[in-house]
Amino acid sequence: MVLFPVLINIPPPMLVDDTADRSYWKDHGGNLQHFHSSQAWDSLRVRNDKVDWVDAVWFSQCIPRHSFHVWLVIRNKLKTQDRMSIGEAGSATNLALMCCPLCAYDRDSRDHLFFQCAYASEVWKTVRDWVDMGNVNNTWDSVMGWLVNSANTRHLGGVVCKILVGAATYYIWQERNNRLFSRLQRSPDILSQVILSSVRLKLMGFRIMKHPDHMKIMDRWQISKKNLTEDPG
Q: Which positions touch Zn ion (CB under 5 A)?
A: 100, 102-103, 117
Our CB check for Zn ion shows the closer of 42 and 189 to be 189
Our CB check for Zn ion shows the closer of 117 and 208 to be 117
Closest distance of CB 181 from Zn ion, Å? 16
Our CB check for Zn ion shows the closer of 51 and 194 to be 194
Closest distance of CB 204 from Zn ion, Å? 32
* Cα 64 to Cα 169: distance, rounded to the nearest angstrom: 13
Closest distance of CB 61 from Zn ion, Å? 31
Q: Say how many C-beta atoms besides its own lie within 10 A of residue 178's C-beta.
A: 15
Our CB check for Zn ion shows the closer of 100 and 161 to be 100
Do residues 198 and 63 make contact, with C-beta atoms less than 8 angstroms apart? yes
Closest distance of CB 115 from Zn ion, Å? 10
Q: At what angle do helices 140-149 and 156-181 cross, to 10 degrees?
A: 150
Our CB check for Zn ion shows the closer of 55 and 108 to be 108
Closest distance of CB 159 from Zn ion, Å? 29
Closest distance of CB 179 from Zn ion, Å? 10
Our CB check for Zn ion shows the closer of 117 and 196 to be 117
